[in-house]
Amino acid sequence: MNKNKNPVKYSSQMLRRKAEELVARTPKNPEVLTSIETDHLVHELQVHQIELEMQNEQLHLTQVGLEHERMRYVDLYNLAPVGYCTLNMQGKILQANLTAANLFGTTQHDLVNQSITHFILQEDQDIYYLCQKQSDDVNASRSCELRMIGKNDKPFWAHLETKDGHNPDNINEYHLIINDITKYTMVQEKLKLNEQVMLAQAQKAGMGELISMIAHQWRQPLNNLALINQDTYIKLGLGKLDDKSIYDSHERIDQILQFMSKTIDDFRNFFSPDQPKELTTIEEVINATLKIIGQCYVTTNIAINVHNNSKTVVLIHKNSLVQVFLNILGNAKHALESANVKPAIITVIIDETPTSIITTIRDNGGGIPEAIIEKLADPYFTTKGLMGTGLGLYISQTIIEKYFSGTLTWFNKHQGACFVITLDKSRV
């Protein structure tokens, strides 16, 4: 047999038809065959024998190739970095790869006919059922994150992705991908904890400055109380302290004490954790911020002009946004004092579009040096020397992006720094 000859491909029907043709051409009585006819018949039979052998060899090579591909697929399937399971529509495992078996601390054989919910933590099974009902589109994949039960009954965090499909018999089933994200989840939790710690650090770091602001807020009221006290003492010495004078002094003292008490309440509310969300406007948040620091800016001759073009009411954690405004206004104050600008002006403009509320805070302090403008939000980067923590703007950006789903950007404009806070109306 010639091994180098390309095999002629015949289907079983073609071979059958060819054989029938040969039989039809063969005389009924072999005794009357001529030598030429006999030689021709033998030649035909030999050719077809060779063709059948070549067909058989081709089938064998195809089978070897298919087996090689099957083994290659099995290796890829079993050694994949994620778990793969095929489940019936009742959630029972029909097939699983080696990675899935290792995740659950069992064998592939023992996984078959097990319900997938057997490996999902009881408290998280509702997450899985809701995930399965996410979409009616059979071509759409569904995903969720939950805790599963692994080796030695130890829970691990998993990202699941499922998609409907069919087996070769056209029976409905679905395919499940299991990705162990425990390390990723731990990193996320650590980052979240670090953010909370840095937020607390930033708030505590600003406490000294805020206490200084309380002193500014109280200085004038205390001076007024001292004047009332001196006036009362002089009138008493002159014999002019009548009932009306006492009543007037009482009213003035009462007003001053109420103002001072309100100042303490403003600061206490700012430092109180876990404040609930409340309905408010951005203008009201600005006003609340100025109640805390306004007098300090008056004392240093820095004007704060507020222009409000928005009336939209939002449901937000008010104190978190107050902290952002405190940081940005505090930076503006530092820049104006460092540049010794006269007159020193901070302008706050609140605008809105159909989809956003935009708050712009700008000063005339000369702007941010181009060499550091990209570094301002880096944690612990500060331009205030030993007086700064380098957390203010970093925390402000974190609050706006993660708690308000907004953006905080900055640039130089009109010889000053410009900070823009954009909040999406649909997400606050």
CB-based contact 147:124 (threshold 8 Å): yes
* DSSP-based three-state secondary structure for 39: helix
- Candidates 3.40.30.10, 3.30.450.20, 2.60.40.420, 3.20.20.210; CATH matching 83-180: 3.30.450.20
Query: For residue 96, what are the β-bridge partners?
Result: 85
Query: Is the pTM higher than 0.85?
Result: no
Rounded Cα–Cα distance for residues 140 and 164 (Å): 8
Domain ranges of the chain: 12-78, 83-180, 198-427
Which CATH superfamily includes the segment(s) 198-427? Histidine kinase-like ATPase, C-terminal domain (3.30.565.10)
C-beta of residue 420 within 8 angstroms of C-beta of residue 410: yes
Asked if the model's pLDDT at residue 385 lies above 50, the reply is: no
Q: If you search the block for the tokens 């070769």, which residue do you land on?
A: 168
In the predicted structure, residue 262 carries a pLDDT above the cut 80: no
Q: What is the pLDDT of residues 46-96, one digit of tens each?
A: 777 777 878 888 887 778 777 777 666 666 777 788 899 989 888 899 989
pLDDT tens-place string over residues 90-130: 889 998 998 999 999 999 889 999 999 999 999 999 999 88
Burial label for 315, CB within 10 Å (0-12, 13-18, 19+), is exposed
H helix and E strand count, the chain: 11, 12
pLDDT digits (tens, 9 = 90+) for 9-31: 555 566 667 666 665 665 555 55
The three-state secondary structure class of 392 is helix
Q: Among 393, 396, 299, 285, which residue's Cα sits nearest to residue 348?
A: 285
> Rounded distance, CA 260 to CA 270, Å?
16
Q: Which class for 55: exposed (0-12), middle (13-18), buried (19 or more C-beta within 10 A)?
A: middle
Please state, in angstroms and rounded to a whole number, the distance separating the CA atoms of residues 56 and 31.
33
